[in-house]
Amino acid sequence: MLSRSSQAERLINQVMMTATINLPGPHNKYPCTMACRPYCYLQAGKKGINSKIIKEENHHAELQPFTRKDVNKMEKNVAKHVLADVLWVTHEARGQREAKTMYELLLRSYRSRHMEWHEECLQMAWEQYNHWVKNSSAGRPVERQKGRNRSGIRITEPPYPIRLEKRGRSEWEFAWPGEVLNLMDKFDLGCEYLDVGDLKKARQIFNSILKECPYFIDALNHLAAVEWDGGNLAAAENHYSKAYEIGHSVLPGDFRGKLPWGWIDNRPFLRSLHGLALVKLRRGDARAARDLLLRLIKLDPDDRLGARMILDDIKKGTVPWDD
């Protein structure tokens, strides 16, 4: 009979093998045009999904094929997620002590056989798991509970099944649930109608998406764009505000990390922050717009959306554009 550590390792390795073969990394999760339309990387969808961005200028991308180094990095990221999920499931079923025991058993096993690649993935997963434990509302969603605890305090639950995952020393990325990814084809169709100016069709599609998935941030962003183009700035602000509030609810209260534009799943939230600032500026609330743009720069210091340029215009007393 296999020992507990051997059983756990066999299960994990089987899942990891499946995950790395399918390789659902950034280039296969969904086409760039679906993730970013109509804002950038339109060429990426035309040239194929097995390419990476090496240069971006004026919202056009220069692409080159993924290297083995890129693929290895993606495989590590997938393995990390699988291991972190296993630790979390163990935590939910048997508690934190049992999850730590599993981690230590696997760590000793990998080290004894000099499996450096697996050990590195496990260390990354342990860091992710600890983040989920510390901030479950900003990480792995917990089981929904109702009522009050023994002290009579109402039990809160995460409002949306959205996770925040670590990507670097201080960099994080949103991880969207399957409900969002399953609606990307429909979302892309709505973007196409918006691109050609058919606001009625675009509005219908985005509203339909939100009925199925109320926390689809980019559908709210694009619905705001529809209302903006139709001249209804109040409705546009309402949609951008909802999108921003959904994304903001995922961040822990003491969040000091970065949400770089380079991680594509951060872009819906960053666009909602950017769009809300613009609509507030257009409606005459320059102070609120300034605060939002400063927040945007803190989250994305590279400023891929041009917040600093808009802040400069605010300082000069001019509106950036009138469209």
pLDDT range class, residue 80, cuts 50, 70, 90: confident
Superfamily, domain 178-316: Tetratricopeptide repeat domain (1.25.40.10)
Predicted confidence (pLDDT) at residue 271 exceeds the cutoff of 80: yes
Give the H/E segment covering residue 282.
helix 267-282
- Which residues in 267-306 are b (16+ Cβ under 10 Å) and which e? bbbbbbbbbbbbbbbbeeebeebbebbeebeebbeeebbe
DSSP character for 67?
Answer: P
Of the given ranges (97-106, 188-197, 209-218), which has the lowest mean pLDDT?
Answer: 97-106
Strands 60-65 and 163-166: unpaired
Domain residue spans in the chain? 4-145+157-175, 178-316
- What is d(CA 204, CA 112) in angstroms, rounded to the nearest whole number? 59
pLDDT at position 42 is 29
Partners of 64 in beta bridges: 52
pLDDT at position 22 is 33
The answer to whether 176 touches 162, Cβ cutoff 8 Å, is yes
- What is d(CA 229, CA 234) in angstroms, rounded to the nearest whole number? 12
Residue indicated by tokens 């469209």: 323
- What is d(CA 65, CA 73) in angstroms, rounded to the nearest whole number? 14
pLDDT at position 208 is 95
Mean pLDDT across the chain: 75
- What is d(CA 197, CA 193) in angstroms, rounded to the nearest whole number? 6
pLDDT range class, residue 280, cuts 50, 70, 90: very high
Spatial CB neighbours of 93, under 8 Å, sequence gap ≥ 6: none
More confident residue, 202 or 148: 202
Q: Give the residue-averaged pLDDT of 309-315.
A: 90
The CA–CA distances, whole Å, from 242 to 69, 210, 223, 258, 268 equal 39, 12, 11, 21, 12
The beta-strand segments (E) located in 168-300 are 172-175
More confident residue, 31 or 51: 51
pLDDT at position 308 is 93
Q: Is the pTM of this model over 0.75?
A: no
Predicted confidence (pLDDT) at residue 173 exceeds the cutoff of 50: yes
